[in-house]
């Protein structure tokens, strides 16, 4: 924890919605005068975020918990460096490499996400400074039900925490709580050739899938993703293969901006964990297990009940050979073996020996039970977190303050370099 009182932070964010109309009108007349946050004296500008304007920040009443104190702490933590200045690290206390990842608040993670990514996250946070964002702004390129989006935003955050991401070690926040994402996105869009956007695989796929709603957001989606990454001077971005092209675009934008002005953004690299297997569909084992598969029997989700997990494995497609053995000619069995192997640490040879002479029924039962046991503690913690909304929202509010402090520094630099008037 960075010593911020959860009530304080909550009230800051609560105030965004709760500012009274006369107060809002007054604030609109003098945008950067700063409003007093409900119970804590933090300041909000009328844009709805903690003012970064230096006059607003230098007024009394901030105490040791305001954004300024967060800036100071950020600076101290980095050995007095201006951490957002690319390549400007002093010899003292080199900072940990920074990891940023965005997770859409749509659909529950699958066993594939768990084995391939989520399981590695807790380990990652000891080695790196990790920032995880629930990217609700990305989610609205496809129409979302408002209540469901709100609920799933909390659920996604809860699942990240339940999976072992510690709010003490890492930053977890909701993208729309840090306005700098949308702000930088606009600037970066002016540094991104139109043709680069129209040739993105995901744009082509999604616009083919939703021909009735090919909106601008679908096209500019990768620019917002570039803003997410570049705002935090990110070194490493854990991504699946499907996001590689988007990361490449972010690198191109960074390079263009750095070239036109001066080094501003750290050049991000993809981070592909060495461990972890690719989990295939339980029904069509030649295909990757996908969050959005219409056939629920093909997908095991992190929040599935033990009964559902057992049922899905029981129905998993195998072959008529009846022998637990890995091979290209046995994609179904090989997939089950690789799930079992990743979760138990056993090799294919171990597994073949263990199930020698036993049927698929018994093998499937063992795999399912291993998955149930691996997911149980996460599911329990997830339920506990969702029942404690005060805590969960407090973590997100604190995350937004910490992320916002870093993001605003980068944004301020960008605004200055491009020549936006600063008062
Ligand atoms: N586009 C990513 C996905 O669909 C989500 C995402 C948004 C992201 N912003 C990001 C991933 C920044 C990594 C870094 O999976």
Share of the chain above pLDDT 90, in %: 68
Report residue 273's pLDDT band, with 50, 70 and 90 as the boundaries.
low
d(Cα 20, Cα 22) in Å, to the nearest integer? 6
Catalytic residue list: 206, 288, 291
Cβ contact 364:335 at 8 Å: no
- The alpha carbon dihedral of 398, 96, 102, 121 has a sign of negative
Specify the range with the lowest mean pLDDT, choosing from 145-149, 290-294, 318-322, 333-337: 290-294
The pLDDT tens digits for 206-229 are 899 889 989 999 999 999 999 999
Report residue 275's pLDDT band, with 50, 70 and 90 as the boundaries.
low
- Give 75's Cβ-side CA count (13 Å radius): 9
Q: Are strands 35-36 and 43-44 parallel, antiparallel or unpaired?
A: antiparallel
Atom index in ligand 1 nearest the CA of residue 246 equals 1
The pLDDT tens digits for 383-392 are 999 999 999 9
Q: Model pTM?
A: 0.78
Q: Is the pLDDT of residue 334 over 70?
A: yes
Q: Is the pLDDT of residue 139 over 50?
A: yes
Residue nearest to atom 10 of ligand 1 (CA): 102
Q: Which residues line ligand 1 (CB under 6 A)?
A: 100-102, 104, 135, 138, 225, 228-229, 237, 239, 243, 246
The pLDDT tens digits for 348-372 are 999 999 999 999 999 999 999 999 9
Q: Is the pLDDT of residue 118 over 90?
A: no
Residue nearest to atom 11 of ligand 1 (CA): 102
Share of the chain above pLDDT 70, in %: 77
The pLDDT tens digits for 61-80 are 333 444 444 444 444 444 33
Atom index in ligand 1 nearest the CA of residue 240 equals 15
Q: Is the pLDDT of residue 88 over 70?
A: no
First to last CA, the chain: 34
Token output for 17:
């919605």
How many A from CA of 103 to the centre of ligand 1?
6
Report residue 87's pLDDT band, with 50, 70 and 90 as the boundaries.
very low
Residue 400's pLDDT is: 98
Residue 396's pLDDT is: 98
The pLDDT tens digits for 155-206 are 999 999 999 999 999 999 999 999 999 999 999 999 999 999 999 999 999 8
d(Cα 156, Cα 139) in Å, to the nearest integer? 12
């Amino acid at each position: 924890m960075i010593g911020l009182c959860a009530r304080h932070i909550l009230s800051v964010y609560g105030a965004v919605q709760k500012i009274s109309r006369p107060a809002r009108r007054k604030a609109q007349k003098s945008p950067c005068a700063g409003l007093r946050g409900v119970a804590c004296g933090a300041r909000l500008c009328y844009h709805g975020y903690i003012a970064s304007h230096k006059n607003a920040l230098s007024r009394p009443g901030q105490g040791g918990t305001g954004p300024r104190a967060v800036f100071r702490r950020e600076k101290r933590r980095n050995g007095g460096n201006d951490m957002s200045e690319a390549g400007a690290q002093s010899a003292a206390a080199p900072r940990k490499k920074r990891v940023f990842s965005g997770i859409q608040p749509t659909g529950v993670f699958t066993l594939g996400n768990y084995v391939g990514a989520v399981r590695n996250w807790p380990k990652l946070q000891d080695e790196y400074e990790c920032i995880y964002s629930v990217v609700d702004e990305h989610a609205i390129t496809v129409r979302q039900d408002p209540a469901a989006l709100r609920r799933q935003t909390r659920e996604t955050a809860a699942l990240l925490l339940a999976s072992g991401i510690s709010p003490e070690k890492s930053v977890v926040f909701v993208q729309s709580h840090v306005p700098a994402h949308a702000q930088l996105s606009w600037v970066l869009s002016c540094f991104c050739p139109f043709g680069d956007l129209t040739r993105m695989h995901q744009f082509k796929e999604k616009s083919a899938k939703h021909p009735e709603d090919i909106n601008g957001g679908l096209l500019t989606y990768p620019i917002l993703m570039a803003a997410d990454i570049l705002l935090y001077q990110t070194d490493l971005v854990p991504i699946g293969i499907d996001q590689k092209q988007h990361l490449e675009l972010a690198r191109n934008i960074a390079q263009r901006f750095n070239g036109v002005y001066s080094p501003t953004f750290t050049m991000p690299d993809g981070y592909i964990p060495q461990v972890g297997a690719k989990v295939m569909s339980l029904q069509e084992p030649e295909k990757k297990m996908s969050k959005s598969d219409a056939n629920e029997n093909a997908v095991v989700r992190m929040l599935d009940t033990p009964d559902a997990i057992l049922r899905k494995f029981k129905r998993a497609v195998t072959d008529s050979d009846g022998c637990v053995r890995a091979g290209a000619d046995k994609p179904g069995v090989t997939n089950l073996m690789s799930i079992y192997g990743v979760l138990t640490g056993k090799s294919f040879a171990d597994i073949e020996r263990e199930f020698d002479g036993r049927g698929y029924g018994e093998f499937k039962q063992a795999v399912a039970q291993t998955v149930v046991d691996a997911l149980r503690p996460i599911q329990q913690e997830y339920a506990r977190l969702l029942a404690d909304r005060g805590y969960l929202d407090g973590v997100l509010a604190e995350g937004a303050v910490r992320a916002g402090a870093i993001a605003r520094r980068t944004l301020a630099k960008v605004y200055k370099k491009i020549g936006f008037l600063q008062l």
